[in-house]
């Protein structure tokens, strides 16, 4: 089934999407462009330029930026370039993150724990900080963070901690900035079917034990879903674009699970 496209829903909106080279981020950016938004796709992979080029060939307003959002310097540079395209950012969608390793917590090294948190918490923390002065000055803006229901899941404790931090950012920042007319919301995807990644999140399983640990994640994800399946990229994008749109104008500080009934 083809996803519904609401023509004009993002007309006159400048929307920055991080992690936009593939997966959920790419699907979200494509949908917002089809719905009239001027999109700036941000990713550390050069693939993001191919995606933006494809969107422009389809007649959409799309620009691409490469940046390492795990540092504040990279996040600030990306936000500055995104702003320069249209003079403003109406919506920021923070989609960077993803599990690097899959194993019980006692098997993580300190360096791996830090890397997981650096990957899945700091890009959201930094880009929110970079965009806020601009949104506050305009007394307008929407931030949509992409969290995860894996805040309650097996074999991903550091990732769960990072996404728990994203939930905390969403709740606390929404409380701070509502006075400026800024909304801060989040979606929490569950397991999502997607094509093979062109840039992997981490090393492939090295032995039978690592394969079994990853299988535990898959099994728990399906078992925790009332619908007993993974979602699709379009199902995740539908929730995120709704939260980013004016249709959600009375929603802030909320984390919406999109996981077939798994509340996380």
- Residues annotated as catalytic (active site), given as ranges: 159
Instruction: Assess contact for 146 and 94: CB atoms under 8 A.
Output: yes
DSSP string, 120-139: HTHHHHHHHHHHHHHHHHHT
Q: Where are the beta strands (DSSP E) in 20-80?
A: 38-43, 62-66
Q: Angle at which helices 72-86 and 122-138 pack, to 10 degrees? A: 40
Instruction: Assess contact for 159 and 110: CB atoms under 8 A.
Output: no
Phi, psi of 16 (to 5 degrees): -100, 130
Cα 141 to Cα 124, 151, 170: the distances in Å are: 16, 27, 14
């Amino acid at each position: 089934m083809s996803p519904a496209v609401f023509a004009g829903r993002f007309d006159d909106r400048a929307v920055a999407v991080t992690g936009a080279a593939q997966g959920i981020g790419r699907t979200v950016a494509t949908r917002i462009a089809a719905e009239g938004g001027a999109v700036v796709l941000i990713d550390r992979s050069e693939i993001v330029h191919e995606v933006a080029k494809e969107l422009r060939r389809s007649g959409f307003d799309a620009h691409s930026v490469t940046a390492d959002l795990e540092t504040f310097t990279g996040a600030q540079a990306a936000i500055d370039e995104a702003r320069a395209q249209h003079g403003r950012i109406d919506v920021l969608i923070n989609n960077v993150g993803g599990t690097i390793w899959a194993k019980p917590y006692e098997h993580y090294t300190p360096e791996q724990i830090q890397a997981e948190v650096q990957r899945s918490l700091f890009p959201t923390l930094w880009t929110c900080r970079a965009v806020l002065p601009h949104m506050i000055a305009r007394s307008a803006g929407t931030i949509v963070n992409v969290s995860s229901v894996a805040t309650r899941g097996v074999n991903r404790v550091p990732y769960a901690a990072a996404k728990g931090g994203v939930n905390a950012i969403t709740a606390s920042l929404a409380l701070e900035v509502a006075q400026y007319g800024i909304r801060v919301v989040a979606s929490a995807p569950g397991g999502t079917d997607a094509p093979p990644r062109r840039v992997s999140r981490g090393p492939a399983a090295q032995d039978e034990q690592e394969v079994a640990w990853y299988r535990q994640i898959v099994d728990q994800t399906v078992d925790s879903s009332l619908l007993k399946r993974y979602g699709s990229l379009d199902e995740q994008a539908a929730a995120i674009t709704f939260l980013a749109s004016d249709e959600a104008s009375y929603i802030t500080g909320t984390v919406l699970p999109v996981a077939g009934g798994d509340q996380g």
